[in-house]
Amino acid sequence: MRLLVSGGGTGGHIYPALSVIERLKKVDSDLTVLYVGTERGLENKIVPAAGIEFKTIKIQGFKRSLSMENIKTVSLFLKSIKDAKKIIKDFKPDVVLGTGGYVSGSVLYAAAKLHIPTVIHEQNSVVGITNKFLSHYVDEIAIAFEAAKSQFPSDKVTMTGNPRAQQVAERVSDFSWNKLNLTDDVPTMLIFGGSQGAPKINKSVIEAIPTFNNRDYQVVFATGQKRYDNVMDQLKNVEIGNNIVIQPYIDNMPDLLPKVAVIVGRAGATSIAEVTALGIPSILIPSPYVTANHQFKNAQALVNNDAAEMILEDNLNGESLVAAADVLLKDDAKRKLMSDAAYKMGMRDASDRLIEVMKAAQLKH
């Protein structure tokens, strides 16, 4: 298979693409992949680092308010379609996969107009503007949440889950908490607000640390690279117990996750895929700063299935965080029930399902 992939801007669009590429490499010895992104997005670093051929086109998003900048955006969009068509004609893909972000809008639209088989993957419960636009042109649509189905033409939609789930579920890890000077026989809670950290989550953990010091469970707290020094400065006069480890970032997250008893963090698509694939009980704190409040709706899908607890950011502080943590980490039976519920929601064959959707798109041509 010759596969052209486009998706970018955030890790939530990039990592599902990389996950399905990784799976395809295992099942298709003749696979050739080209990834099209932008110079400004995270894909510009992440994709080449994964050893995948990478090309860029120039595009930007529309401003939601009236702005002269939107005139430039339209001009860039039209040029980007022309550039994408040239890349597509040169590469000659069998199928084109889009995983979201403005760049995929140009590439998938161009591919559809060239009558190349096309598939989009929507990771969230609320459909992004790019995928809404593309849904009228592409052959097949893959979704990770049932709530997204009604937002697309129903005859094109297949529930696949997020490919990140299969990647995480199949990973073999020998990680031990001893590497962080903790013990493997005590429940451990991971608190992670994303690669950049989340100020409100960090503030709440700082408030909670004096109480966490007296708990029988362990806490691993990742502050975010840019916020580590600030957090440690605020904690300089606070005792930090031997059961607590504070780090800027967790760079081996897939290895560490199978050992986590409870995870506290945002409700992005990748996080949801990971916790359900592994059956990790979670305390989700949806970011209120995302389009259409989609993280709340992602989290609600788990809460409705008793697979997670949720704390709204407005209600988050040290006291509410400790209370939620205690409910799960002091009650093995409750934690087991939540773990089972999360595991039932996991789609550990998501990459295989998406590959079948790509094959279906090819059969339409």
Residue numbering of the annotated binding site: 10-12, 124, 195, 250, 295
Q: What's CA 123's distance to the chain center, in Å? A: 8
Binding site, annotated residues for UDP-N-acetyl-alpha-D-glucosamine: 10-12, 124, 195, 250, 295
75: exposed, middle or buried (Cβ count in 10 Å: 0-12, 13-18, 19+): exposed
365: exposed, middle or buried (Cβ count in 10 Å: 0-12, 13-18, 19+): exposed
**Rounded-to-integer distance, Cα 219 and Cα 208, Å:** 11
Instruction: Count CB-CB contacts under 10 A for residue 186.
Output: 14
Closest CA to 37 of 74, 4, 2, 6: 6
Closest CA to 14 of 6, 26, 2, 3: 6
335 DSSP β-pair partners: none
Closest CA to 165 of 55, 15, 267, 64: 15
Closest CA to 221 of 207, 164, 334: 207
Residue 272 and residue 302 in contact, taking contact as beta carbons nearer than 8 Å: yes
Specify the 3-state DSSP secondary structure of 122: strand
Count Cα neighbours of 264 within 13 Å in the Cβ-side half-sphere.
31
